[in-house]
Amino acid sequence: MNRSGDLSTTLVSPGTNEEPPTCRLLYSEESQEIFLLNARFEVLDRAILLWPYASGTFADLTILSQTKVRFAFLGPGVWELELFDAPRLRLPFFSEPLGTYRPFGFSRRFRLRHRGQG
């Protein structure tokens, strides 16, 4: 059975007077897509967690702070998503954990980290 879902949470961008961006997590058994949207639902940043021929279950969502969440997906360990208050430099192809895909670009609005077990 293919389970899929849509989880929305608001992470607050510190130091701004604007309406906070919304981080939207869309997941299925095969992948998880993460979108950072502004108040007009324009995509500010996005990433996809995917591993060929692997299936994952989204679980254990924990809000660590107003700018950081942790969750389990695709194998052992946990993922952490941290929202930045402004775009930060990103080196394409070298700045992301294995299994993370983003559109080509030199900036990002959130960081993903994978912390394996053991």
pLDDT at residue 81, rounded to an integer: 92
User: What burial class does residue 38 get, using C-beta atoms within 10 Å of its C-beta: 0-12 exposed, 13-18 middle, 19+ buried?
Assistant: middle
pLDDT at residue 4, rounded to an integer: 43
pLDDT at residue 88, rounded to an integer: 92
| CB proximity list for 96: less than 8 A, separation 6 or greater | 47, 102, 112
pLDDT at residue 7, rounded to an integer: 47
pLDDT in tens, the chain (118 residues): 334 444 444 444 444 555 666 767 666 667 788 888 888 888 889 998 887 776 677 888 899 998 899 988 877 788 999 999 889 998 877 778 888 888 888 999 999 998 876 4
pLDDT at residue 29, rounded to an integer: 64
Of 38, 14, 15, give the one whose Cα is nearest residue 24: 38
pTM: 0.74
Residue ranges per structural domain of the chain: 5-115
